[in-house]
Structure 1
Amino acid sequence: MHSDTPNDSWAIRFAQFVQRFGTIKLSVLFVVLTLFFTLGGSYVIRVSMGSQVDPDDFISAVVLTMLSAPWVLYFFSELVKQLENSRTNLKEVVSQLERLREEDVFLNRELQSNIRQLNHEIEQRKHAQEEREAVFKDLEKEIQDKSEQEEQARRLSTLLRSIIDASPDLIYYRNEEGRFAGCNRVAEMMTGKTEEELLGLTPHDVYEEDLARQVVESDQEVLETNASITDELWLRFADGRRRYFEMRRVPFFDKNGNRLGLLAFGRDMTERKQAESAAEKANTDKTRFIATISHELRTPLNGIVGLSRMLRDTELSEEQFNWVSTIYASAITLGNIFNDIIDLDKLDRDKLELSLKVVSLKDFTEELSSIIRLLAQDKALELRTTINEPLPQLVEVDGTRLRQILWNILFNAVKFTQKGHVSLSVSATRPNNDISLVTFVVEDTGVGIPEEEVDKIFAMYYQVDHPDHQSATGTGIGLAICKQMVDLMHGDIRVTSRVGRGTRFEIELPLQISTKPMQSAKLQVSGLKILLVEDIELNVMVAKALLEKLGQQVDVAMTGQDAIDKARATQYDLILLDIQLPDMTGFDVASTLHEEDLVMQTPIVALTANVIKKREEYLQNGMDDVIAKPIKKSRVIEVFNELFSEPDAAPGSDEEEQKPDTTKALTTILDMDLLQMLVDTIGEDMVRASVKVFQDKAPEYLEILVLSLSADEKDDVCAEAHKIKGAAGSVGLSRVQRIANQIQQGDHPAWWQNVHDWVEELQMAMQHDLKALHDWLNEQNIDD
């Protein structure tokens, strides 16, 4: 509390005064004042008492004052000092009390704040406690739910394991390191190991090395691409059984997307593959049957066509000429039915091909019309042929296929027309980039086709069900084959019809205008010395008569050995060689002739009724060309002109250049240098043992190759072909090695179009060349 405040006491003010005035000064003043007071008092008392004022009285008063004044002064000084000290202390106390009051206020405020904070915290803790209790309840419920889920998961895991073990499929999974991490019962049966024994093993610890390498490569592809793959492979069970499995490998991941390894599922496809093999074999057997039937039927047909054609060129009465013409046309019809059957088989095997040649549309139409006219005349029908100019003079087209298409349609027109006429017209559009759209229109006045049946007539084996059609029957394949041939030529075929009024077929084909000259229809060479190798008398008579009529000299051999003997004794200009002979095949004859260098400058032309094979197959077996039976004069002229109308080689060319490129000998199918070296170094017995091993493994190789091809697995086909190539090369089978090398070239642009033919060629070469190899080894043994 400040000293100037009105509440200050007099003592405090007095003490402040003493302190400001000074103690000494005040003490002197006090003594003086006391002295005066004492003197004055003494005087007043003496006067009031009526006493005489004596100076001594003043002296005693002064002495008394001087004696008492210091003590009084001391007392008052101490009193003032104490009062000042008390005031000072009081100020300090007041100041402390003020501070304490302020602190108390601050502490009170802080306490209030703390109390509020504490109340807030207590409230929060209360809420937290409530939330904790709720969390505990949720946790208890979650624990209960998890327990139930774990129990459910255990039940599901047990059920899943039971399902996996009960599955007939092969199931296993491996980790990132490629080690087995689990499997099912089928995998245990296949490997002969329990799941516990498989854990931690790699494919190299379980499978054969070749299979293990293949499996690891597939697994690596899955892990590199993170994509599933499917392949097929043979697996050997622990009990020795081999089964064919379709394997599906997929990567699997955890919930965070981290890859854990791969899963593999294998389905046993052995029965399906066996069924496919059986179907393939049945198809092959069907092809062989068709080839055999074709050969057997074309042999007498060759005689019918040839002799009837020659009879028509002799002097006959009109009635006899008509009879012979009917025989000739019927034989041609039968031949076209054979062609339909053959083409049906080729369509089934996707082997139908086009062979483009230069054709005169005008000559082609007139030739076809001349034969159809014979059929029409038998039914008193009129054949009308119209050639609409301008027409391209020459076009490039497969004349055989085009003739077959038009023949089928014209033959049906004649067959289903009882009266009236059949017409054939040909027209063409103006060429565009040397391509002309040629249109053939066939119309008849026959029974017609019901409107609801028109869209079905190109279906295989379909025949129109109509009362007026019962008079004419058929196979139902002709028009279906026509449709597919027209599609193969990139053309279009359309039909319109009205019941009782007739049918109209329109065929449009885009044909290339030919810049090449048409091959001469006349024979350019005569006086050839020809060896005709044929075992059927009728065929010999027809072919010999035709050749002699063309101005050639003909010598006949009825067996393969007879042909070889005649070739050894006489030099011929040409050998016409039938493929099916009683003692050996024409291929065997050709191989012997080439091996003995008996035909160095003599072309060999195959005569065959087996039109199943392709021309290239004959060329690869030592032939220079092929003529199909029944023998046609036009085909004979074509082949002869191609072989002999070219200018001779220039003088001075060496003998090897004059040798035909297609000359084949034993060296073309066997690596003679390698075989001779092997015989000389490791011995004949070891070579035979190696050949025996290859011969034992070859069926398995071929089976896997065919099954892989059936599954459209190019990589597996190429891999198996590579294996066959290496094995064949080690035992000197050079042709087998070459064919296998073709098959293994999976990057070939036309691989899929040719691989089936190559595989068939490989199968035939394997069988034929192994026999040739054994024969060669037997000859070595005889020589020794």
Structure 2
Amino acid sequence: MSQNSPLDPWVIRFAKFIIRFGAVKASLLFVVLTLIFTFIGTYCLRIWLDGSVQTQDFIGATILSLLSAPWVLWFFSELVKQLEQSRLRLKDAVTQLEKLREEDELLNRTLQNNIKQLNHEIEQRKNAQLEREDMFTDLEREIEDKSEKEQQAQSLSTLLRSIIDASPDLIYYRNPEGQFAGCNKIAEQMTGKTEKELIGLTPHEVFDEELANQVVTSDHYVLENNVTVTEEIWLRFADGKRRYFEMCRVPFYNADNTLLGLLAFGRDITERKQAENALAKASKDKTKFIATISHELRTPLNGIVGLSRMLRDTKLTNEQFSWVSTIYASGITLGNIFNDIIDLDRLDRDRLELSLKTVSIRDFTQELGSIIDLLAKDKDLSFEATVNDPLPALVEVDGTRLRQTLWNLLFNAVKFTQRGKVSLEVSAEPIDSKHSMVTFKVCDTGVGIPQQDLDKIFAMYYQVDLPEHQSATGTGIGLAICQQMVSLMNGKISVSSVIGEGTCFTVNLPLAISQKPLQVEELKVTGLQILLVEDIELNVMVAKALLEKLGQHVDVAMTGQEAIDKARDKEYDLILLDIQLPDMTGFDVANVLHEEGLVEQTSIVALTANVIKTRQEYLDNGMDDVIAKPVKKSRIIEVFNNLFCEPVSEPYKPIEAPKTGQLESILDLEMLQMLVDTIGHEMVRTSVGVFQDNMPEYLEILQLNLSADEKDEVCSQAHKIKGAAGSVGLARVQKIANEIQQGDHPAWWENVHDWVEQLNEAAHKDLEKLQSWLSQQDIDD
């Protein structure tokens, strides 16, 4: 090492000094130092021993030092050499040790790295082992879950199969090739084949030809159009029994949206079909019964009301006038009760209609109040009718329905009031410039209605239990019909009551303010030659007296044939024709008169007690109007003025087509205009004429098929009518026919009769609109 380390032994340091200083120089220095040490030692010794120093003492010491110095020098030289060699060997050993230490450190570091790598690999293998264990655990769990799910699926499949087999519905499914792929027990009973026997067969191999064709056609339609089809068909079971089924067919797919086939399920509705037929028959029988009762009851009622009204116009004592007024009011009451029964039947058939007319609320209230006042006086009650201003002078309302509603409320008020008064209050609040909310409030001081019954009194046939007033009972239909009437007029009816203090009914009606002049109840035509066709003596007496009092000339015929004979012999201005005659119906009489051309200038008005039919039905059978029995003077004046009085003179206008906005829902104006522009008016008229000639036959066939419950034929005929109507632009007729042809409609059977009735009415009216539109086009050109 080049530098001395403080940690090296002194010998090593001394040897390093000798080597660095040089052996010769060190030897000479050692001799000199030895001599100096000898001289100093000799001097000190002699002084200590003798106290004096001699020259020979220094000479001897010098000679001795010179003799011993070479040997000492040789010894030290050898010692130094040995020491140096030892140092060098030691240095080499240290160097070798350092190399070994470095190699050992490198080896140690390599070993540590290897140990770390090994530990890392061990950790990774340990983690991998844990992951494998977790994976195996998850796999075992998944296998267990899958096994459980498979068991659940198998159990669910078994349960589902049990439910399908236990279902009372007919269920089968077919593949896209049309072959049966499975079924339930009911299907096996119906086909007479087990499921295994049925699989792979086609409908033609299972059903009779007619049913097979029907099934295949429906199934193809479902698969090709990806829709659900519902139809009702008769199915014959293997034991020969026929049952009526409502079949529903739907396409079904797997999770990948791949079509697997068709699923069909059907419910046995034979009992329901029989019940519907029985209900329809019962409804027809009920309607027929009500029509008969209507005629039989209104005939004497007509006499009671008519004669009592005529008696009131004669000179009577006050007592006689009171009696006659009571008879008249009782007749009116009976008529209104019967109107409730008629309206109840109409509500059942959804045929209740509104006929809006211009009405003066003041005059209406006064007229109604005069009759109620008679009833109130019979019970020593007071009656007050109040009209609060401001009130619209004229409104558009169905006076008959409003009168019937208020009559029911007022009659009940009188009936359930023992003392005190009954009141009718009328008021109005404007909604906008064209509409007003008119309020009718009927109050009494009667027995009142319990709070728990207030929400129930408008229910059909519901009657409040009032033990102390058992005499004041009714049918339980009046208030229910009132609510229906008010709802039909877009209004609201409410009630409030306190037991022992009285009841108040409030009717709110949103009514249009009329811009038309009021039809004055004044006959504008007299001297008419009228043929009255009526087979009841009482009715003849009343009607003839009323007509003659109005300034008309009346001939009477008691039978249909007599009426025809009189019409052949004499030309009349008007024929009042009863519908139920002893030898034929009034419709038959009208047909004969029309066929023989006897009534080209004569109006025919039906005079009937059968108010079941709608006015349009009479018009469709050749009548110009209809008057219901009991005959009312106001109705006669209204009909006579409409038929024989010229409207207010206006500048001449060509036949005016209905406004486009009104026609858009009736006619396909765009297509019609295109046809007119393309093929001309004449060709369009010819097409319309062909449709008009064929339509009665189409409708007759449709009606016959409907009566026979031939659903497919009805749909097919409706489809034909739809196409024909579309070709001549009858959009509404086309729309109604389209409803009828949709046999898969869920409520088809419930609605088809109404649709057919609508189709008949629309075909008649819309053809007139179409002809009018074509005439207007001719004029415009």
Normalising by the smaller structure, the TM-score range is 0.5 to 0.7
Give the structure 1 partner of residue 501 of structure 2.
501
Contact between 1:724 and 1:740, CA under 8 Å: does it hold in 2? Answer: no
In 2: Cα distance, 1:219 partner to 1:267 partner: 21
Are 2:737 and 1:744 equivalent residues in the alignment? Answer: yes
Relative to structure 1, is the Cα distance of residues 126 and 388 closer, same or farther in structure 2, using a 3 angstrom cutoff? closer
In 2: Cα distance, 1:250 partner to 1:395 partner: 57
| 1:110-134 deviation per Cα after TM superposition (whole angstroms, max 9, x unaligned) | xxx99x9999999999999999999
Are 2:693 and 1:700 equivalent residues in the alignment? Answer: no
In 1: Cα distance, 2:403 partner to 2:435 partner: 20
Give the structure 1 partner of residue 221 of structure 2.
217
Relative to structure 1, is the Cα distance of residues 621 and 137 closer, same or farther in structure 2, using a 3 angstrom cutoff? same
- The two structures, once aligned, show a CA RMSD in angstroms of 4.6
Paired AA for residue 561 in structure 2: Q
Paired AA for residue 573 in structure 1: D
In 2: Cα distance, 1:191 partner to 1:481 partner: 51
In 1: Cα distance, 2:201 partner to 2:183 partner: 12
Give the structure 2 partner of residue 277 of structure 1.
277
In 2: Cα distance, 1:648 partner to 1:498 partner: 53
Contact between 1:725 and 1:741, CA under 8 Å: does it hold in 2? Answer: no
Contact between 1:530 and 1:572, CA under 8 Å: does it hold in 2? Answer: yes
Give the structure 1 partner of residue 233 of structure 2.
234
| 1:474-522 deviation per Cα after TM superposition (whole angstroms, max 9, x unaligned) | 1122122212222222222232222332222222211111001111210
SS in 2 for 1:456: coil
In 1: Cα distance, 2:124 partner to 2:304 partner: 116
Give the structure 2 partner of residue 557 of structure 1.
557
SS in 2 for 1:636: helix
Give the structure 1 partner of residue 433 of structure 2.
433
Give the structure 2 partner of residue 723 of structure 1.
716
Relative to structure 1, is the Cα distance of residues 330 and 745 closer, same or farther in structure 2, using a 3 angstrom cutoff? same
In 2: Cα distance, 1:130 partner to 1:221 partner: 57
In 1: Cα distance, 2:158 partner to 2:412 partner: 70
Paired AA for residue 700 in structure 1: A
State how 1:348-363 maps to structure 2 within 5 Å: 348-363=348-363
Relative to structure 1, is the Cα distance of residues 389 and 271 closer, same or farther in structure 2, using a 3 angstrom cutoff? same
Contact between 2:417 and 2:447, CA under 8 Å: does it hold in 1? Answer: yes
Give the structure 1 partner of residue 246 of structure 2.
245
Relative to structure 1, is the Cα distance of residues 299 and 764 closer, same or farther in structure 2, using a 3 angstrom cutoff? farther
Paired AA for residue 168 in structure 1: P
Relative to structure 1, is the Cα distance of residues 632 and 459 closer, same or farther in structure 2, using a 3 angstrom cutoff? same
In 2: Cα distance, 1:464 partner to 1:290 partner: 27
State how 1:748-759 maps to structure 2 within 5 Å: 756-759=753-756
Give the structure 2 partner of residue 524 of structure 1.
524
TM-score (norm 2): 0.67
SS in 1 for 2:217: helix
| 1:282-323 deviation per Cα after TM superposition (whole angstroms, max 9, x unaligned) | 233222222222221111101100011011111122211111
State how 1:375-774 maps to structure 2 within 5 Å: 375-430=375-430, 432-646=432-646, 699-701=707-709, 704=711, 721-725=714-718, 743-746=736-739, 756-759=753-756
SS in 2 for 1:332: helix
Relative to structure 1, is the Cα distance of residues 742 and 645 closer, same or farther in structure 2, using a 3 angstrom cutoff? farther
Contact between 2:719 and 2:737, CA under 8 Å: does it hold in 1? Answer: no
Greater CA deviation, 553-562 or 169-178? 169-178
SS in 2 for 1:587: helix
Relative to structure 1, is the Cα distance of residues 275 and 307 closer, same or farther in structure 2, using a 3 angstrom cutoff? same
| 1:574-616 deviation per Cα after TM superposition (whole angstroms, max 9, x unaligned) | 1111111122221122122212222112111111112121111
Contact between 2:702 and 2:714, CA under 8 Å: does it hold in 1? Answer: no
Paired AA for residue 593 in structure 2: L
Paired AA for residue 251 in structure 1: F
Contact between 1:725 and 1:738, CA under 8 Å: does it hold in 2? Answer: no
In 1: Cα distance, 2:412 partner to 2:705 partner: 53
Contact between 2:705 and 2:713, CA under 8 Å: does it hold in 1? Answer: no
Paired AA for residue 235 in structure 2: R
SS in 2 for 1:429: strand
How far did residue 723 of structure 1 move?
Answer: 2.5
Greater CA deviation, 481-490 or 182-191? 182-191
In 2: Cα distance, 1:141 partner to 1:406 partner: 79
Relative to structure 1, is the Cα distance of residues 214 and 136 closer, same or farther in structure 2, using a 3 angstrom cutoff? same
| 1:197-250 deviation per Cα after TM superposition (whole angstroms, max 9, x unaligned) | 654455577544344323322344446xxxxx4623214326562522242535
Identity of aligned residues (%): 66
Paired AA for residue 739 in structure 2: G
Contact between 1:447 and 1:468, CA under 8 Å: does it hold in 2? Answer: no
In 2: Cα distance, 1:200 partner to 1:441 partner: 74
Paired AA for residue 561 in structure 1: Q
In 2: Cα distance, 1:722 partner to 1:582 partner: 40
In 1: Cα distance, 2:152 partner to 2:494 partner: 67
Contact between 1:450 and 1:499, CA under 8 Å: does it hold in 2? Answer: yes
In 2: Cα distance, 1:217 partner to 1:558 partner: 60
Contact between 2:170 and 2:187, CA under 8 Å: does it hold in 1? Answer: yes
State how 1:274-353 maps to structure 2 within 5 Å: 274-353=274-353
In 2: Cα distance, 1:136 partner to 1:523 partner: 105
Paired AA for residue 244 in structure 2: R
How far did residue 327 of structure 1 move?
Answer: 0.4
Contact between 2:360 and 2:395, CA under 8 Å: does it hold in 1? Answer: yes
Greater CA deviation, 280-289 or 737-746? 737-746
In 2: Cα distance, 1:340 partner to 1:368 partner: 17
How far did residue 335 of structure 1 move?
Answer: 0.5
SS in 1 for 2:530: strand
In 1: Cα distance, 2:440 partner to 2:417 partner: 19
Give the structure 2 partner of residue 106 of structure 1.
none
How far did residue 458 of structure 1 move?
Answer: 2.1
In 2: Cα distance, 1:636 partner to 1:642 partner: 10
Greater CA deviation, 462-471 or 325-334? 462-471
How many residue pairs match? The answer is: 599
